[in-house]
Amino acid sequence: MKSTSIITVITIVTFLQVFALKAEQKSLDSLEVKVMTSAGYSFGTIDLLLNLSEAYLNQQPQRTLDLANNALELATALNDLSRQARSLFLIAEANRMKGENVIAFDYYFQSKKIFDQVSDKEGLAKCANSMGSVYSLLGDYTSALDFHLTALHFYEELDNNLGVASSLINSGVAYGKLEQKEIALENYFKALEISTRNDDLTNMVSALISIGNVYWYDKDNTEALSYFEKALATTREKNFKGEHPGALLNNIGNVYRDLGDLNKATEYYLEALKISQEIGDQNHIAITLKNIGIANKEIKKFSEAIQYLNESRILAENIHLLKIQQDALEQLSQTYSLLADYKMSMEYYMQYSFLRDSLLDEEASNKITLLQLKHNIREKETQLTITEKDTALKTSKVRNLRNIIIFISLFAASLIWFLWKRYRSNMRKNEDLQQLNGELERRVEERTKMLQAENEQRRIAQEQAEIAKDTKNRFLATISHEVRTPINAIIGFCDLAIKTDIDNEHQLNLKRVKDSSEHLLAMIKDILDYSQIESGKMQLKITSFDFRKLIISIINAYYLDASSKDIKLTHKIDDKLPRILIGDPDALRQVLYNLIGNAIKFTDKGTVEVKVDIAEMIPDSGQVQLNFSVKDSGIGISKLKQKLIFMDFTQVDNNASRKYGGIGLGLTISKYFVELMGGKISVESDQGIGSEFKFEIALQVDNSKVETKTEIKTDKKKKLHLLVAEDNLLNCHVIAAFLDRLGHTSKIANNGKIALEVLSKEDFDAVLMDIEMPEMDGIEATEAIRNNQENVRNPKIPIIALTAHALKDYEEKCYKAGMNSYLTKPIDIEKLTEVLQAL
């Protein structure tokens, strides 16, 4: 009974298997073909074909096409999707080179589909880029932009900097054509930054030229020239060859032509001609010949003009550069007309208008091609969905049948297996289980080890990163200290020397030295702040402060600068504004310093107005919303450039920057601080009329009494006796001289240890404490005083840190050690007076 049923099951299984094999006969046949083919060829052969095909692309597109078709055949036979996609892409590229845009698009579409299937992002990016270029060529810049942005997205995901830069430039071109010049410019600047960082010469030069072009179209010849010249200097410095030099020299020539300097224009055109001839760049030879012709016509060298224009016309016709041919014909007609040879002029005019019409036809035909292209895509997409559905249906039918067979086979096999092996399996069960357990344990152990190793690696990497970060910060602190100390001495001595009895010329010279040193100091501070921001270390330090006093001290600091330039510097603070507010006064001071400094810098004469208004008192929260405005009547900023000025290291007007100085960080830092304070900064400006920088922030109102950090209050007029702990001899003299001028007496201690000794023997009103000193530094000395380790007479004596370190870390360290105030060098005499008066 049992054996009969087993035989029945086996018979059914065999029948069904034969049936299934018949159903798959077709694919078996094709498999045979595949096996046969793969015996003769390998993937290496296809790669070879593809590489060759790619190499021929620029010179012999037909050869590219043949080789890519061969590669496609083999890749299809070997069922290699990746290589199929690459072949299809090259077939598309070759067709594009041959001007067969519709066919090209068809192939791009097919390759894109497969790149998508195999998740090849590089391939997808390349496809999108080329498809965008086809659209650009046909004049549909919206679609072009779509594709270039897709390419950009993929390249960004791949971290492919070259691709990112070139996509930014391509999309910039499309934005430019769509009249979005600001975005175009932003893209070019980004591309410039990325390509410079990666030493990617091609994109760097492209970006510079593109930026120059935007300015040129905007009729800003000077700015355009500066970017073209930068591009030229880069190509020369790096001995860069390619199509750029010819184009670039032509662009520079065009700018000079617009500026009316035709001799200089011709000089550049001739050099462009020479370079284009050297590298055999026919396109630029034709363009340059035409330009030289035009320049000659304008300086009335008519026979030379005719010669160059004719050469350009003939070459342009040969290489099918119809636009240039048309321009040359028009110029020839005009030149003959100037020579009063109306017959020749008419003849060229006829040729010109004939060509113009045919170019218009071409434009129309481009539009038709575009329509055809879009129609094809739609059809393809519909077809693809239908085919996909069809295939899915067929596959699911075959799969169902196969599943039934597999199921029955498995069922039968397991039945037989079960009857025959039941006994033995029972015997081996325990043994297997043990083995399995052992295997499992081994795997767990292996995995644990691997995880431990990974964790260790991660920990080491983290430690290394911490060390690198620390090293950078220490380096910055040291540089800050090392540079600030000598500048401090320079400024201090200048101050002293200016006040002595010297003649005007020497005084003037010393003032210049002092100004330059202060300028240098401001720059170092900007760079330090910027690197603090970069490392994410910059934090607000919230405290109570006298708002009006802060604003007035800033205005006072600029008062002299303004009056020396014939600028009326005014300020208006809302009367209703509470006196004491809570916020970060240093951050606020920095922002206003930058904005007022810029306003004065970029105004030759006129007014700079600083205004603070209450926008609203925020009920319950105790906050007040403030509107700040710094308005000047200076050179102004063009609309195009206003978007760029808050970017790092951006100085939108090269000429102005050369004239006025600066490193392009002030606004970046200001924007950062305003945003850190929860506000927003903006600019409104008209070129030649002036600029207004505005920002709004909310600050807390402090209704309690103002706390001073120093507890001891004495008579303000009292002359103080101060201990100056400072190791640098120059600084000692400068500080002593300042204190003397303020009517105080002082004593010097050259390190912390000596300071402690002196403090245990003599009474002082306060200590001015340097931080970095030999033997015992300022922090240690302060801690020793506060803990009364050396029996100092007054462990609560006010201690004022006086240091060249400008980093926030140091400030925190000082307060932590028990200091009462913190002043940075070079000494700001007003601040010093203020702090001493508060004692």
Binding residues for ligand ADP, rule: CB under 6 A, are 594, 598-599, 602, 632, 634-637, 645, 650-653, 656-657, 662-668, 691
Give CA–CA dist 748/721, Å, rounded. Answer: 11
Nearer to ligand ADP, 354 or 649 (CB): 649
- What's the Cα-to-Cα distance from 679 to each of 233, 673, 675, 676, 690, rounded to whole Å? 41, 9, 5, 7, 23
Nearer to ligand ADP, 206 or 532 (CB): 532
CB atoms within 10 A of CB 663: 14
Q: Do 16 and 410 touch, CB atoms closer than 8 A?
A: no
Give CA–CA dist 121/157, Å, rounded. Answer: 8
Nearer to ligand ADP, 78 or 630 (CB): 630
Smallest separation (angstroms) from ligand ADP to the CB of 667: 3
Nearer to ligand ADP, 169 or 562 (CB): 562
SS3 500: coil
CB atoms within 10 A of CB 82: 16
Smallest separation (angstroms) from ligand ADP to the CB of 754: 42
Nearer to ligand ADP, 348 or 672 (CB): 672
Nearer to ligand ADP, 554 or 817 (CB): 554
Q: Do 773 and 754 touch, CB atoms closer than 8 A?
A: no
Smallest separation (angstroms) from ligand ADP to the CB of 686: 11
| C-alpha 32, offset from chain centre | 55
What count of Cα atoms within 13 Å lies in the side-chain half-sphere of residue 638? 13
Q: Do 165 and 200 touch, CB atoms closer than 8 A?
A: yes
Give CA–CA dist 592/695, Å, rounded. Answer: 10
* Residue sitting closest to ligand ADP (CB): 662
Q: What are residue 768's DSSP bridge partners?
A: 724, 800
Q: Is 569 exposed, middle or buried (0-12, 13-18, 19+ CB in 10 A)?
A: buried
Smallest separation (angstroms) from ligand ADP to the CB of 558: 13
Q: Do 37 and 79 touch, CB atoms closer than 8 A?
A: no
Nearer to ligand ADP, 138 or 645 (CB): 645
Smallest separation (angstroms) from ligand ADP to the CB of 172: 21
Nearer to ligand ADP, 492 or 597 (CB): 597
Give CA–CA dist 568/504, Å, rounded. Answer: 26
Amino acid at 536: G
Nearer to ligand ADP, 667 or 804 (CB): 667
Token representation of residue 810: 């140091």
Smallest separation (angstroms) from ligand ADP to the CB of 690: 8
Polymer length of the chain: 839
Smallest separation (angstroms) from ligand ADP to the CB of 630: 8
Q: Do 284 and 271 touch, CB atoms closer than 8 A?
A: no
Nearer to ligand ADP, 213 or 670 (CB): 670
- What's the Cα-to-Cα distance from 7 to each of 4, 12, 578, rounded to whole Å? 5, 9, 102
Give CA–CA dist 103/91, Å, rounded. Answer: 9
Return all residues near 116 (Cβ < 8 A) that are at least 6 apart: 124
Amino acid at 605: K
Smallest separation (angstroms) from ligand ADP to the CB of 248: 25
Smallest separation (angstroms) from ligand ADP to the CB of 641: 7
Smallest separation (angstroms) from ligand ADP to the CB of 633: 10
Query: Residue 619 carries which DSSP code?
Result: T
Handedness of CA 166, 167, 169, 174 (dihedral sign): positive
Nearer to ligand ADP, 235 or 691 (CB): 691
Nearer to ligand ADP, 223 or 653 (CB): 653
Smallest separation (angstroms) from ligand ADP to the CB of 233: 21
Query: Residue 682 carries which DSSP code?
Result: E
Amino acid at 201: L
Smallest separation (angstroms) from ligand ADP to the CB of 369: 45
